[in-house]
Amino acid sequence: MFLEQFPAVERQNGWIEVVCGSMFSGKTEELIRRLKRAEFANQPLLLVKPFIDNRYHIDNVVSHQGSSLKAQVVANSKAILDLWSNEQIVAIDEAQFFDDQIVDVANQLAMKGVRVILAGLDMDYKGTPFGPMPQLMAIAEYVTKVHAICVSCGNLAQFSQRTASETDQVLVGAIEKYKPLCRTCYNKLAH
């Protein structure tokens, strides 16, 4: 379980948090939970999401459970720096969809004293590391891996099995295109 630990109040103490896991594991729900706590404490924040993620709402970050927060939609990671106006917290949903520059953006913001929170899939539907997520996890002070429940056997699920026939790495979707599986059930259906 992730324990939020805050360094001294001075702004020069920024850090990076990554929330990762499979589809339906609660990544966005956890991101929103952390942000709602920060909002309650009147901490200024910037929430962004990639333009490709328009599943539930065009300009809100929305969890599969229906929790929602207003976000800025960006086309690339550099745009996050352009939007940042000294907020204490910068949160980024669906980080796996960003270009590799997201790693540098997160580092730059943390060096400016920002609490950077990124949520995203750690693996694609083939079970391989997804986009910049491995690098983000490596540079983060805090990494929280959340799990779904395997729809086949009920164990903890860490894989996102694609049920649609498309084979591109990026296929935005929800329950109609993916299901969470544990390692054993996922490997039974190995590609």
Q: Which sequence positions are flagged as catalytic?
A: 94
Token pair 């270009």 in the structure block, residue: 99
Residue 44 tokens, joined: 């200024």
183: buried, middle or exposed (CB in 10 Å: 19+, 13-18, 0-12)? middle
The amino acid occupying position 91 is A
Q: What is the DSSP string of the chain?
A: --------SSTT--EEEEEEESTTSSHHHHHHHHHHHHHHTT--EEEEEETT--SS-SSEEE-TT--EEE-EEESSTHHHHHH--S-SEEEESSGGGS-TTHHHHHHHHHHTT-EEEEEEESB-TTSSB-TTHHHHHHH-SEEEEE-EE-TTTSSEE-EEEE-SS--SS----STTTEEEE-HHHHHHT--
